Each structure stands twice: as structure tokens, then as C-alpha cells.
Amino acid sequence: MDIRDFVKRHRIASAVAAPAALGVAVAVAATFALTSSPGEKRADPALTSSVTECHDMVTISVAGRNDSPQSGTTKMLVDANGNELPAALSDDYQSHWVDPVVNAPNGSVDSNSYSAVYISYPANLDSYENAVDTGVANTEQVMRDISAACPNTKFAIVGYSEGADVARRVAMQIGHQTAGADGKYGIVDPGNVAGVVILADSGRTAGDGPFPGAKDPYSHPDNFGQSYQSGKEIAGGQGALQGNAGDFGSLNGRIASFCSDGDLTCAAPKNISLLQLAINVGRQINADQMQSDGLTPTTGMDVAVVLGKIAGDAFADIAHNPGWWTSKETFLDVLLKVSDPNYKPNQDNPTPVAADSIQAENMAPLAYLPQKVFNEVIGLITTNQNTIPVLLNDPYNLTLGPNGTGHHFDYWRDSNPDNGKPLTSAEYAAAWLTELAKEAQAGQLNPKTLTATSTTTSAPAVLAAAPKTATSGSTTPATGSTTPTVTTTPAAPVTTTPAATTPPTTTVTPDTTTAPVTTTTSPTTTTTVPTTTPLVTTTTPTVTTTPSH
């Protein structure tokens, strides 16, 4: 498929920015956070659950795009004073993809010992950066309120796709906190975070194993003895959002960062600087509207404003660097730096250098123009060696589809028993959370002094305890679509795994116009209230799940 066909197929004009390849790359950037996820869930919004119902362990879950509970349609948590919080119990909100992981401990521990909540956040691409920032703020607020009401509660954090970015940023901030004079932390005590699961980690560093900071980064986190794989296989490339890369401070060794080779959100090749520039632009525009409407006066103005700001910041950055003309930094390097949404202008040189203090060799930039142009050309070539190959491989379909076949959905089907990997990434995460929940119930979970432990728990048995399953979802290509319908069933490991924990047959199309199939489930919510806990209303909501995409 040539570039023009690619652009036409996904309804984003190649004229978004110049050069033309950059316009295509904006389309790529706009798809990185897409997931096939449920649509609106209906429940009685008047009935709520309170954080004052304490548990030994709570998993904080952040799902992907269009997969988030919303106030008014889902029962929401309230704080100790009855104020609504941006979260809902997993009993009241169902996520097709994340449920099998976060609900796995249910049935393996007492019903009042473990709970999972889903964070409410925009979960869209109206402005990717604003959505993720809101997710981070909401996650930290919910964790603070739970910790304040229940100081002995331990936490796990799970994020997928757009939610994986939220989970990474929260984990990094928690892990790099410094206690105040009173010994308290701004979010929660890092010692109370037992584990973090990041599925499709867009901040992943090239070469990182699945368990960054662990004693054995390829096999298991430090507090879980069961091996993820027998070898040292890792995905190639790095996360698409390198501005968010970094270690996890005191949480190192308690992180599971899963990445599938070919999922460009976390395994993007190096030397794709033009695509990286477009990704940064895509994080700041209304990519949802761009994808649905294409280039219109409204979306064009949106892009123009962002590009204008980036250009202005680039020239300002150069103006504050009197040695730029003689340096090896190219204009593309400057654009990449200032286009990062987290860029703070002129951090290195807060004020322009006075003219009388500029060295003579820097006062005549034209003298250095030939060398600078040469450096620009060489830099453009060397930093884009993989841009064309990525575009030719159709990055949208490589990552997302068609019909759920893209590598962004591998985490529920990536077991390889013949090559020493008996469980999928999602199954392994579920087994780990279950073990942590058991230790928390037994009072053995003290992350400050955690050491690798040997577990005799069978992962398939652990997964069998999960009371809820991923809802079967299917979509039909839009009228006139040239993409054939393909049904993909995730591969199961050789060990017998109950069907309840394996994501069901899923049909997904990358087009945004679909004919959804509505699936209705009626989970029964039963809450055991501790004797020291205020009474919490128990309901049996009817939940209607409408898949999107």
C-alpha cells in the first residue's frame, strides 16, 4: 500500500504538515493509544461505595482509550466525607482487556481482603497529554484517599495502552518521592506499593527486560519467584514516548513492563526522528477529531497552532544558545526537544546572551552556514534510517489490526510453551497479583523488605478464581470498508487454563465507524463489611457493555 492509499484509508490528509511524510506520521501518532475497548457502561449512579471499606490490598487499574468509568453512568467511589472520587470498583465497571488481570485474586483470598478499582479519566485523544495528565492526577488522588482512610492497605497498579502511560508516570513519581519532615509522602509510601504492571509501556527504554530494576530483569520481579520465561527474550526498539522514560526509583524490582515486538507504542525502532516529531505533535492536537473528520478548517487550525508554537519555541531556544551555529545540534534536534509536551522553554539558558558578550566567531553565522547545512542533511538521513521501513510496513495495522490482530493485543495471546514461556503476559501478571494479594491477607507483604520468594501456586489455578471474564466483543467493518473481517482467538498456553481467563474471540476493525454488538452481563456484587467499617450499600447493577471500534 502506498502512502496516499494509507492516508486515504484512515481518513487523515497528508497535508497536515510539511513534508508530506510528516503528515502521515501524525496519523501514526494519532493511533498509538488506540485500544479495542468497551463503550458506555450503565449503572445506577446514585449508589456508591466508600473508600472507608478497607482491604488488605487494592489494585489501582487504568484501562486504555475509551475504556474508563464516568460519573453519572457508573457507580463511583466516595471519600470518607462522602465526596465523589474519580474511580469505580471493578464490581461496578467492566473492562474487556484489564478485568482478567485485576480480578484474578478474587476467590483466592477473602472477599473483604482484596479489591480492584478503575480510575476515571478522559481516556481519549482530544488531547492525549491532557488526558494522561488527568489520569495521573486522578490516580494519585484516589490512592491518597484510600491510604488516608486505610493506612495499612497495600497497593498494586495496573495500566494498559493509554492507561499504561498513566501507570508509568504515577509509579515513577511514587518511586522518586522524598518523605517530608514528618516522615509522610505526598502520594503514598512507596513501601506500600507491592507491584506495578504496565502493558504496552510507551516509556520503555531500549534493551530493558520485562522487569526493570529487578535482580533478574528477564525472569521475574524481586518479590515473585515464578519465572515469566526461561530465556532473555525482549522486544526490540523502545517506547514511542521517550520523554517519559526513566527508572522507578525505590519501586525498581517491583515493576512488570510488558512489550510485544511489533507493538510500536513500546517497540518503536530507533532513528525515526520525523515520526517522533509527528508523535509529539499528535500528543498536542485533537487526534480523535483529526481521525474522524480529516483535514478541515478546524483541525487544520488546531495543527497550525501547535506547529506555530513548536517553531516559535525552536527559534527561541536557538536565540538563547549563542554557540548553536558552531555546535553539532541540528534544527531537527531542536524541534524534537521543544515539541515534547513536557518541554520547559530555555531551561539551560534562561535569558538571551547579551550581544557584547557573544564571541566573535558566533557573530557571523553565515560563515558557518555551509557546515551547518551539511550537518542538517547528514542528521536528517542518519536519524531517519528506519522511518521509511516503518511507513512501508503500515504502522497502523502492524500495531492495531485489522480486527485485533495487531501486536498491541498480543499480551493476552503471547504464550510460547515450546520456547520456555508457558503463560501469556496477562496470565503472568494475574498470577503475580494473586500471590501479592495472598501475602497481603496473611500480613506477610512488607515491600520495604521484600525478597524473591518461591511460589507453588499454579497460575492456571489462580486464574480460574477470577469471578469475571472478558466480555466477548465483536465489530463489523463500516460499509464500504476494504478490510476483510478476521476473527482472532488468542493462543492459550500448553498448561490447561480455564476459559474464563482467556480473552474471548475478538473482532476489531481499525475504522472508527462500526456496527457494535451489544453484550449484557449482570454481575452480582457482594460486599463483606468489616466490623470496624461503616456500612456500604450493596447493589446488583445491570451492566450493558457496548464495544467500540
pLDDT at residue 391, as a whole number: 83
SS3 content of the chain, % helix, strand, coil (to 5): 35, 10, 55
Cell of 239: 517506547
What confidence tier does 93 reach under pLDDT thresholds 50, 70, 90?
A: very high
pLDDT at residue 503, as a whole number: 42
Whether residue 83 is predicted with pLDDT greater than 80 in this model: the reply is yes
Cell of 337: 526537544
Q: How many whole angstroms separate alpha carbon 115 and alpha carbon 104? A: 10
The β-bridge relationship of strands 154-160 and 193-199 is parallel
Q: What are phi and psi of 269, to 5 degrees?
A: -70, 160
pLDDT at residue 496, as a whole number: 37
CB 79 within 8 Å of CB 51: yes
Whether residue 6 is predicted with pLDDT greater than 60 in this model: the reply is no
Task: Give, as one character, the DSSP assignment of residue 460.
Answer: H
Please state, rounded to an integer, the average pLDDT across all residues of the chain. Answer: 75
Distances (CA, A) of 123 to 107, 126, 136, 171, 537: 30, 9, 11, 19, 28
pLDDT at residue 438, as a whole number: 96
Specify the pTM.
Answer: 0.70
Ranges of each domain in the chain: 57-265+421-449, 273-354+363-396
pLDDT at residue 380, as a whole number: 81
pLDDT in tens, 215-224: 999 999 999 9
What confidence tier does 103 reach under pLDDT thresholds 50, 70, 90?
A: very high
Percent of the chain exceeding pLDDT 70 equals 68
What radius of gyration do the chain's Cα atoms show? Answer: 24
pLDDT at residue 143, as a whole number: 97
Please give the average per-residue pLDDT across 517-536, as a whole number.
Answer: 38
- In CATH terms, the fold of domain 57-265+421-449 is Rossmann fold (3.40.50)
Please give the average per-residue pLDDT across 317-336, as a whole number.
Answer: 85
Q: How many whole angstroms separate alpha carbon 35 and alpha carbon 162? A: 8
Please give the average per-residue pLDDT across 13-27, as a whole number.
Answer: 36
Q: How many whole angstroms separate alpha carbon 99 and alpha carbon 467? A: 10
What confidence tier does 519 reach under pLDDT thresholds 50, 70, 90?
A: very low
pLDDT in tens, 145-160: 999 999 999 999 999 9
CB 104 within 8 Å of CB 430: yes
Lowest model confidence (mean pLDDT) among 82-86, 246-250, 298-302, 512-516: 512-516
Q: How many whole angstroms separate alpha carbon 208 and alpha carbon 246? A: 11
Cell of 333: 534536534
Q: How many whole angstroms separate alpha carbon 518 and alpha carbon 51? A: 32
User: What is the number of other CB atoms lying within 10 angstroms of the CB of residue 530?
Assistant: 12
Grouping H, G, I as helix, E, B as strand and the rest as coil, residue 282 is helix
pLDDT in tens, 361-391: 444 566 777 777 887 888 888 888 888 888 8
What confidence tier does 417 reach under pLDDT thresholds 50, 70, 90?
A: very high
Please give the average per-residue pLDDT across 496-503, as a whole number.
Answer: 39
The string of DSSP letters for 228-261 reads S-SS----SSB-S-GGG----GGGTTSEEEE--T
CB 356 within 8 Å of CB 313: no
Q: What are phi and psi of 49, to 5 degrees?
A: -120, 150
Cα–Cα–Cα angle for 407, 409, 415, rounded to 5 degrees: 85
Whether residue 209 is predicted with pLDDT greater than 70 in this model: the reply is yes
Exposed e or buried b per residue across 171-195, where buried means at least 16 C-beta atoms within 10 angstroms of its C-beta: bbbbbebeeeeeeebebbbbebbbb
pLDDT in tens, 392-416: 878 878 888 777 789 999 999 999 9
What confidence tier does 304 reach under pLDDT thresholds 50, 70, 90?
A: confident
What confidence tier does 347 reach under pLDDT thresholds 50, 70, 90?
A: low
Of the candidates 133, 384, 156, 168, the one whose C-alpha atom is nearest the C-alpha of residue 259 is 168
Strand order in the sheet with 154-160: 87-89, 114-119, 57-62, 154-160, 193-199, 255-258
Of the candidates 489, 491, 504, 483, the one whose C-alpha atom is nearest the C-alpha of residue 547 is 504
Cell of 385: 534510517
Cell of 187: 502520594
Lowest model confidence (mean pLDDT) among 32-36, 64-68, 128-132, 472-476: 472-476
Please give the average per-residue pLDDT across 455-463, as a whole number.
Answer: 41
Count of H-run helices and E-run strands, the chain:
14, 10
The string of DSSP letters for 345-380 reads TTSS-SSPPPGGGS-GGGS-GGGGHHHHHHHHHHHH
pLDDT at residue 92, as a whole number: 93
Q: Which residues partner with 74 through β-bridges?
A: 71
